[in-house]
Structure 1
Amino acid sequence: MATLQKIRAKGPLLVIVIGLALFAFIAEEAMRSIQSASNESKQQVGEIYGERISVHEFQNLVDEYAEVVKFTSGNSALNDQQLTQLRDQVWNTYVNNKLIEHEAEELGLTVTDTEIQSIISEGNSPILMQTPFRNEQTGRFDANVLKKFLTDYEGMKTKSEQMPAEYMDYYNSLYKFWMFIEKTLRQESLAQKYQVLLSKAMLGNKIIDKAAFEARTNESDIIMAAVPYSTINDKDIKVEESDLKAKYNELKERFKQTAESRDIKFIDVQVKASAADKAALDKDMAETATALAAGGDIAKIFRESGSTINYSPLPVSKNIFPNDIASQLDSMAVGQMKAPYYYAGDNTMNIIKVINKISAPDSIQLRQIQVAGADMNAIQKTADSIMTALHNGVAFDSIAKKYNQTGEKTWITSRNYEGAPLDGDNLKFIKTITNMPVNATEKIDFTQGCIIAQVTDRRAMINKYDVAVIKCPIEFSK
């Protein structure tokens, strides 16, 4: 009883303590909710028609575009300036597509899969001409080349463990590139539908048509006297404040702006490389030139130089180099090197060393059989038996069909691989077929597989160069 009496005596104090505890608990939850909402808002890049895009989603779009740019340009990485431009392009494209999708949804406009397939079959879209799926004879997009690639890709996925890693990486990159092209086709088609519908809706009404007809058919005789402004003395013209206000009130509707505007002042400062930056680059280029002249590891030298041009040990045509480099190659001898020099056209320091010159075909026609097996021993055994059969006169096509392959002849041109970073199995494959004579058959061993290749034709012999080109822009330090 005494204890209960004490509790009753302290009742108001206990109510206050419990109330404060409940308030602290509620306040803590409220703060967590506010903090969570704040963090969520910080993770949003923007909002279009109430649909928010997060940082993660936007970065995925940027990565997708970056992979396409790297695949088409042959570069393995993009610099800071290129990434900044790419992000702006991705955002503008995303906003534009969302605006059109919103309007198209209101109007009931859609693009069906059948329409996309029709566009691909016709092959007239400029977007399709940017893909490597072209007929080597006509240079135009060929839907059959695309279908063959997609069929080959689906077949390769089922036996990816038996294919060279570099081979699969290239096919995966090419497949992602096509998925991007197909998505872009759908977006472009929807935009064209909307624009056509909008243009068809902008038709003249009866009043405008009548006025246009009368303007073409009615004629009038007019006597007009013209007085040039220059004959009127400015002192004779008086404009009162009331005249200006009246004219403003008459025309003010013309100057009304429905969108918000801002008056912004800014200073544009061009940042240039300092003397110290140039001196540091000169020192690095001199060290690079010394290493090249001494015959060092070229691949290592390039990695450390920061050159904007990739090096490939495969001889290439001069067309893939910038004009300032290509114009000098014919006049340079094998082994000759031009020391670091400045080129104002792109504000770079440059080094050129011609390692070798050869005459090689620009186009090679070949057919191949991909050899698969449980392990490398089984693959080699199968490959040897195929080579024996070919040497004994068995037709290439019949052997290919035996292994569920077409053995179809395909053309490979210099532009299919020049400028792309080649190493490992890819480099070995291109080097082998480039040096093979017509009708020669070779077994090409890869890290995780084997291919039997036969060159059936070689065309357009041109000069190709094994040349080390180091081009470094003169940039201000970060």
Structure 2
Amino acid sequence: MALINTIREKSGVAVGAVAIGMLLFIVGGDLVGGRNRLFGRNDQAVGEVNGEKIELPEFTAALEQAKQNFTNQQNRPPDDQALAYLREQTWNQLLARRAYQPEFDALGLKTSDDELVDLVQGDNISPSLKQAFTDPKTGQFDKARLIEYLKNLDKLPAESQAAFRNFEASLRDFDRPLLKYTSLLKNSVYVTSAEAKRFDEAQNAKASFRYLFVPYTSLSDSSVKPTDAQLQDYLDRHKGRYKVEDGRTIEYIV
């Protein structure tokens, strides 16, 4: 009978545990997921630069595009090592855009249509395109193959077309303005002839000299006997080294 009573008492706890478990199973995604609908939260920020958030969907979309570009270039999907590199590269690119874009806007740094054409098929081809269309046998950039690729771009799969359009957008909106920005900083630094001369002298000036080193440890303490006046003079000139905090002396009986 005692056993039956114990089972009855514990059964309430068991039923309660099962009920809680079912509740967590049903709403668990809302409690721990990025979209907490149960409490009205919808925060998917994974980072923030200068007060501007980087949302998870933006990072995911950028990573998927990077994976697609890798697949198109290498004719294979990225392995674990390449995927880790793409994640880090994508994240750094998002951070860089958030950090530099306000500076681009403030300085009015943009890429004109003529500049973009020049970077894609003109006389100043983007280094990325040069690398992609370099003949592996000769090591030389094949501009004719690039032009042929552009002529047939509309015949390529939709994924390849989208990847190239995204590349053009990145070239126009970030890569080219970044090059202008870094060039502006580089050319804004001016070194006078006097500074250059002083730097050259500091780097190349030489001197020959002889010296005698006598370590103080070679002298016995008894050979040097400073007077009280000398000690007081030294203390007065170096008070900061011997400054102590105020203290108190307490006597008590337990």
Q: Return the TM-score normalized by structure 2.
A: 0.58
The range that moved more, 48-57 or 177-186, is 177-186
CA distance in 2, matches of 1:216, 1:83: 47
CA distance in 2, matches of 1:175, 1:98: 26
For the structure 1 residues 234 and 183, does the alpha-carbon distance in structure 2 shift closer, same or farther, using more than 3 Å as the test? farther
Q: Which amino acid aligns with 1:173?
A: E
Q: Tell me how large the CA RMSD over aligned residues is.
A: 3.9
For the structure 1 residues 190 and 129, does the alpha-carbon distance in structure 2 shift closer, same or farther, using more than 3 Å as the test? same
CA distance in 1, matches of 2:193, 2:210: 31
Q: Which amino acid aligns with 1:89?
A: Q
1:226 aligns to what?
A: 210
Which structure carries more strand by proportion? 1
For 1:319-343, what per-residue CA distance to the aligned partner results, in whole angstroms no more than 9, with x for missing partners?
A: xxxxxxxxxxxxxxxxxxxxxxxxx
For residues 142-291 of structure 1, the aligned pairs below 5 Å read 142=144, 144-150=147-153, 153=154, 156=155, 171-186=157-172, 187-204=174-191, 208-212=192-196, 225-227=209-211, 231-233=213-215, 235=217
For 1:371-394, what per-residue CA distance to the aligned partner results, in whole angstroms no more than 9, with x for missing partners?
A: xxxxxxxxxxxxxxxxxxxxxxxx
1:69 aligns to what?
A: 70
CA distance in 1, matches of 2:208, 2:148: 70
Q: Which amino acid aligns with 2:100?
A: I
CA distance in 1, matches of 2:55, 2:175: 24
1:102 aligns to what?
A: 102
CA distance in 2, matches of 1:224, 1:133: 55
CA distance in 2, matches of 1:195, 1:147: 30
* Corresponding residue SS for 1:78: coil
Query: Is contact 2:45-2:56 (8 Å) kept?
Result: yes
For the structure 1 residues 236 and 176, does the alpha-carbon distance in structure 2 shift closer, same or farther, using more than 3 Å as the test? farther
- Identity over aligned residues, as a percent? 21
* Corresponding residue SS for 1:122: coil
2:244 aligns to what?
A: none
Query: Is contact 1:131-1:141 (8 Å) kept?
Result: no
Offset, 1:123: 4.9
For residues 81-120 of structure 1, the aligned pairs below 5 Å read 81-120=81-120
2:125 aligns to what?
A: 124
1:446 aligns to what?
A: none
Query: Is contact 1:127-1:185 (8 Å) kept?
Result: no
Match of 1:40 among 39, 42, 50: 42
Offset, 1:119: 1.7
CA distance in 2, matches of 1:63, 1:95: 17
Offset, 1:131: 3.3
Query: Is contact 1:133-1:146 (8 Å) kept?
Result: no
List alignment gaps of at least 5 residues for structure 2.
1-35, 220-233, 242-254
CA distance in 1, matches of 2:134, 2:159: 14
For 1:260-296, what per-residue CA distance to the aligned partner results, in whole angstroms no more than 9, with x for missing partners?
A: xxxxxxxxxxxxxxxxxxxxxxxxxxxxxxxxxxxxx
CA distance in 2, matches of 1:214, 1:52: 47
For 1:51-77, what per-residue CA distance to the aligned partner results, in whole angstroms no more than 9, with x for missing partners?
A: 2221111100000001011111111x3
CA distance in 2, matches of 1:148, 1:223: 67
1:312 aligns to what?
A: none
2:142 aligns to what?
A: 140
CA distance in 1, matches of 2:166, 2:189: 33
Offset, 1:82: 3.3
For 1:128-165, what per-residue CA distance to the aligned partner results, in whole angstroms no more than 9, with x for missing partners?
A: 1233598x996423453244123xx1xx5xxxxxxxxx
CA distance in 2, matches of 1:62, 1:215: 47
CA distance in 2, matches of 1:85, 1:113: 32
For 1:371-430, what per-residue CA distance to the aligned partner results, in whole angstroms no more than 9, with x for missing partners?
A: xxxxxxxxxxxxxxxxxxxxxxxxxxxxxxxxxxxxxxxxxxxxxxxxxxxxxxxxxxxx
CA distance in 2, matches of 1:123, 1:216: 36
CA distance in 1, matches of 2:75, 2:53: 34
Which structure carries more helix by proportion? 2
Paired positions, count: 181
CA distance in 2, matches of 1:145, 1:211: 52
Q: Which amino acid aligns with 1:119?
A: L
For the structure 1 residues 113 and 211, does the alpha-carbon distance in structure 2 shift closer, same or farther, using more than 3 Å as the test? closer
* Corresponding residue SS for 1:40: coil
CA distance in 2, matches of 1:223, 1:64: 61
Query: Is contact 2:111-2:176 (8 Å) kept?
Result: yes
Query: Is contact 2:133-2:141 (8 Å) kept?
Result: no
Offset, 1:124: 3.3
Higher relative contact order (CA 8 A, sep 6+): 1
Query: Is contact 1:47-1:53 (8 Å) kept?
Result: yes
CA distance in 1, matches of 2:67, 2:200: 55
CA distance in 1, matches of 2:158, 2:113: 23
